[in-house]
Amino acid sequence: MLIAFSVAPSGTGRADGSVHDAVAAAVRVVRDSGLPHRTTSMFTEVEGTWDEVMDVVKRATDAVMPFGSRVSLVLKADIRPGYEGEIDGKIERLERAIDETS
């Protein structure tokens, strides 16, 4: 399965509203997991089994908790049993489709 998630604290007390330290703690958890992943400016994508990716999300959320009085988590999942390598495969198919229509 593929998941895209974003986790961030609120109530940080920072005047500039920045959450980059908390996000860095969450991304460190993802990178240390060893699962295929990709981080963009808004979301982090992770691929693995249900249990693997949900464990990463929980640990990433726990890593953000100390940075504020509450935590917001947004998660989207693509659950497609029997498929692997979709973190790149979906993009490759999209690029081919774009090339074919140009």
pLDDT for 32-79, tens place per residue? 999 999 999 999 999 999 999 999 999 999 999 999 889 999 999 999
Task: Give the pLDDT of residue 11.
Answer: 76
Using a cut of 0.85, tell me whether the model's pTM lies above it: yes
Distance CA 73, CA 93 (A): 29
pLDDT tens, residue by residue, 17-38? 688 999 999 999 999 999 999 9
Q: Which two tokens stand for residue 68?
A: 């504020």
Residue 60 neighbours by CB distance under 10 Å: 25
* Tokens at 40, concatenated: 């963009």
Residue 102: DSSP 8-state? -
Q: How confident is the model at residue 99 (pLDDT cuts 50, 70, 90)?
A: very high
For the chain, list the domains and their CATH numbers.
2-101 (3.30.70.930)
> Which two structure tokens, joined as six digits, stand for 100?
């074919």
From the CB of residue 34, how many other CB atoms can be counted at a distance below 10 Å? 10
